[in-house]
Amino acid sequence: MKKRHSIQILLAVAAIFFAATACTQDELTDDTRLPEGQYPLQIAAVTLSVEEGEAQPWGAPQTRVSETEDGTGSKWDGDEEIDVQIEGSTETTTYIVQTDGTVSSDAPLYWSDRNTHTVTAWYSATDGTLDLSDQTDGLAYLLHGTGRGNYEKPVELTFTHRLAKVRVTPSNDIADGEVTSLQLYTYTQCTHNQGNDVQGATPGWIEMKKYSYNGQTCWEANVVPGYAITKLMANNDGKERPLSTTINPEAGSFYNITLNNNKGYTDDGNGNYTVTTADGLKAVANIANNDNLGINITLTADITLTGEWTPIGTAWNNSYTGTFDGGGHTITGLTMTGSDEYAGLFGYIGSGGTVKNVKLENVQITSDNQYANVGGVAGYSRGNIENCSVSGSVSGNRNSDGTDNCVGGVVGQQYGGTITECTSSAIVDGTNEVGGVVGLTNYGATLTACYATGNVTVTGDGTGSIYVGGVTGDNALGSLTACYHATGDVTGASGSTGGVVGRNFKDSMIGGGIITACYWNGTVTDGNGIGYDMTYTGETTKVTDGDWTEAMKVMNEKLSDTGWLYVPGPDGLPVLEKKQ
């Protein structure tokens, strides 16, 4: 059954008076009983009431059977069947509502007594399962109706909707023909009994019906109450579009959605942005850099970037302080080839800023700024970075003399804050402080449960301090716990290149220079875990036989309160796993 919600039409169905029976009032029995088969049920009218609620009601009192071609009303198509039952009886029969407003039945119900009873009716006439999955040729409808009457008083049936209606209207920024079909994610089926006890089943995509409404294209579908609708899709393109507000449909209510161009992100108005596309990520990065670097950003899909990337947080006085949650998703193809002082997905993460749960694949990041801080996740961080990974290549000041250049697979320079459960297989090179995970770990920063497996190299004619490490180039006043470097070469100046750390340094007041349960193997310039050890307290061990069992045991003891542990990976090297 189909119907429209915008036109106020009352479909009155003329009373049907069946052929006069041979029985008269004088022939009625002495009690309330009526002679069997003598007094047929008379239906005087069939209407649809308007149900109120917080959502906009369907509107017009009408029984909607079929939509008009322009989508502005409804009509009977003929041979529409409603099932009817009289209170107190289990007998059900089918009545047919005709286009001319008459109601008839080849086998009508009969009154069995002279009392007034409730008459129940429902549409569709057949109980069971209603398929809502494809409504392109007409909306699916489910109605329940009641009325009161007796053998002398014809019954007026008033129907109510048992489904809810959703309309999607494209905004003016969507070009004609850009959207050819729309799909809504909700129940695709429902079971019902006499128009009631509606139970949804099998969530999936519903194909919506297209209209031209008041000169504007829109799509509609009727849906089962009780399923929170959060997303739709256009043109069956497989790209989910989250709704800005969840719809919790109620029976008999109408909900309107404005379809905007897919910006690739949504904003809840409270500084929380959900990103679904590459364009959305670029747009939100721009919003952060030019408006509010304290916004929270969440990825809900994998993203492939093209073109040059502008990092989020471009300077020390324009640093990111919100929370970025990658949701375990992957960003592929991040590319930077300029002269940024702070280069990475994030340029500068400020104190309190957090980046977590994101994978960066095939990054190509380089900066020829002589003071460059370059990393896959961030060029410079005072915040907290957790559960991030990087692959590709990261380099700084490759073609000019470096003055103070920090390059790391994950972060260029870490000043305070934390980095935990982060990994890099990226090729890393620079001219000064270069590390597989971090170039410089500084001023009380902590680096926990992190590892690198790529080549780490100093190139060019660097000046000043040159420290190269498989994990950290320079551990200046920082702490490393349960970290390792494996397989890749670590190449740099003699005396300041190490399998774990190029230099280990502490301050008498600030402290730092702490290395606990860290390991390495592979080829290192001087063959040491620490290139220049100024504390003589660093715990670094070379794994020489390829068996990391003992190393994992020791590292996991140090990680017992972190929620993470090392387990053997497919190539025999330790990988991080969240504790169950």
Q: What percent of the chain has pLDDT over 90?
A: 61
Helix ranges (H only) for 100-218 are: none
Mean pLDDT across the stretch 377-385? 98
Peptide bond into 124 cis (omega under 30): yes
Mean pLDDT across the stretch 511-516? 87
Of 168 and 330, the structure prediction assigns the larger pLDDT to 330
Q: How confident is the model at residue 23 (pLDDT cuts 50, 70, 90)?
A: very low
Mean pLDDT across the stretch 247-265? 86
Mean pLDDT across the stretch 532-552? 90
Q: In what order do the strands lie in the sheet with 378-381?
A: 346-349, 378-381, 411-415, 438-442, 472-476, 501-505, 530-533
Task: Return the residue matching tokens 């089943």.
Answer: 201
Between CA 191 and CA 125 the distance in angstroms is 13
Between CA 391 and CA 422 the distance in angstroms is 12
pLDDT at 402: 52
- Per-residue pLDDT of 286-327, as tens digits, reads 999 998 999 999 999 999 999 999 999 999 999 999 999 999
**Cα distances (Å, whole numbers) of residue 350 to 114, 385, 410, 525:** 83, 11, 16, 35
Domains of the chain: 25-161 (2.60.40), 164-259 (2.60.40.2630), 299-578 (2.160.20.110)
Q: How confident is the model at residue 401 (pLDDT cuts 50, 70, 90)?
A: low
pLDDT at 153: 87
Q: What percent of the chain has pLDDT over 70?
A: 87
* Torsion 512-514-519-523 (CA) sign: positive
Q: How confident is the model at residue 1 (pLDDT cuts 50, 70, 90)?
A: very low
Task: Return the residue matching tokens 């719809």.
Answer: 247
Q: Per mean pLDDT, which range of 6-15, 207-216, 311-320, 460-469 is the poorest?
A: 6-15
Non-local CB neighbours of 383 within 8 Å, separated by 6+ positions: 320, 321, 349, 350, 351, 352, 353, 354, 355, 417
Average pLDDT, the chain: 86
Of 209 and 510, the structure prediction assigns the larger pLDDT to 209
User: Ramachandran region of residue 362, left (φ > 0), alpha (ψ -120 to 50) or beta?
Assistant: left
- Per-residue pLDDT of 450-496, as tens digits, reads 999 999 998 766 767 899 999 999 999 999 999 999 999 999 989 99
Name the CA radius of gyration of the chain, rounded: 36
Do the Cβ atoms of 119 and 155 come closer than 8 Å?
yes
**Of the segments 101-105, 428-432, 458-462, which one has the largest average pLDDT value?**
428-432
Task: Return the residue matching tokens 């003589």.
Answer: 536
| DSSP notation for 521-568 | -S-BSSS-SEEEESSS---EEE--SS--HHHHHHHHHHTTTTTEEEEE
**Of the segments 117-131, 155-169, 210-224, 344-358, which one has the largest average pLDDT value?**
344-358
User: Is the pLDDT confidence value at 62 over 50?
Assistant: no
According to DSSP, the β-strands at 117-123 and 80-86 are antiparallel
Nearest one of 233, 148, 146, 135 to 182, comparing CA atoms: 233
Tell me how far apart the terminal alpha carbons of the chain are, to the nearest angstrom: 51
Between CA 1 and CA 216 the distance in angstroms is 24
Mean pLDDT across the stretch 40-51? 74
pLDDT at 20: 36
Alpha carbon 286 to chain centroid, angstroms: 21
Judged on CB neighbours under 10 Å (0-12, 13-18, 19+), 383 is buried
- Per-residue pLDDT of 110-153, as tens digits, reads 999 999 999 999 988 777 889 999 999 888 888 899 999 999 98
pLDDT at 398: 56
DSSP bridge pairs for 297: 273, 324
pLDDT at 114: 93
According to DSSP, the β-strands at 164-170 and 216-223 are antiparallel
